[in-house]
Amino acid sequence: MPTDTNLKQLRVAITGGTSGLGLALVQRLTARGARVAFIARTARAVELIAKETGAYGIVGDVGRKDDIYPIALQVTGNLGGLDALVNNASSLGPTPLAPLADTECEELEQALTVNLLGPFRLTKALFGALAASARDRRGAVVINISSDAAVNAYSGWGAYSASKAALRSLTAIWAEEARAEGVAFLSLDPGDMDTPLHALAIPDADPATLKRPEDVAVEIVDALIAALPNWDARPIAARA
């Protein structure tokens, strides 16, 4: 189904929703009529993006265990359920990037906490809502934003790469285990984008050589909708 069609009543949660790809997804989905809840750490940025897009903003840190259930409760409470979760928030680990021998244990732990444990905990907390959506024939999907660093060995990217490789594996396993529940899991690599995270990693990169988050958001939304096979099959009244 083309993403230019109206996505009214589609309920989506997005982490890291105030910059880069996360922000582009919030803007793309709300423009198509979807009901969106997004999560980010900075209250002022959350407030501004919520006002700009009409999405529901949640101040929280997916890297903090104690934030997960309050986030999940706000997502389901304000959206009335959940059809799609996009785990987009990421941490590089050490900045500037460093070889593993120069990476502090705490820096590796930070990357794993945000890029692996955060998506795991939030998905687990929201899985019941996603499974309920699948049972209602709305469909359900979890998209974990990955990276080519998850499959390629890049010097200096050890903490980030290890966390994304683990997330990629976690996604594949969860896809097998959740198939019976009707919940799809996708690991998507958006490529190198002109985002604050990329600028932090490679400050001298030429933005002209990088993808625009807005263009990548179109691709991600296409993949999201394609993973909801029953969405277009629902009664017209339910989609109106």
Answer yes or no: are the C-beta atoms of 131 and 181 closer than 8 Å: yes
pLDDT at 6: 73
Examine residue 1 and state whether it is found in any structural domain, yes or no. no
What is the tens place of the pLDDT at every residue in 93-144?
999 999 999 999 999 999 999 999 999 999 999 999 999 999 999 999 999 9
82 is in which domain, residue-wise? Answer: 11-239
Residue 116 φ then ψ, to 5°: -120, -60
Cβ neighbours, 10 Å, residue 195: 24
- Rounded Cα distance between 74 and 132, Å, is 17
pLDDT at 229: 80
pLDDT along the chain (240 residues), means of 10: 69 97 97 97 98 98 98 98 97 94 97 97 98 95 95 93 97 98 96 88 91 95 91 45
pLDDT at 1: 43
Residue 102, domain CATH: 3.40.50.720
Answer yes or no: are the C-beta atoms of 24 and 217 closer than 8 Å: yes
For the full predicted model, state whether its pTM sits above 0.85: yes
pLDDT at 4: 55
Domain count, the chain: 1
Answer yes or no: are the C-beta atoms of 35 and 12 closer than 8 Å: yes
Cis, peptide link before residue 235, omega less than 30° from 0: no
Examine residue 19 and state whether it is found in any structural domain, yes or no. yes
Examine residue 4 and state whether it is found in any structural domain, yes or no. no
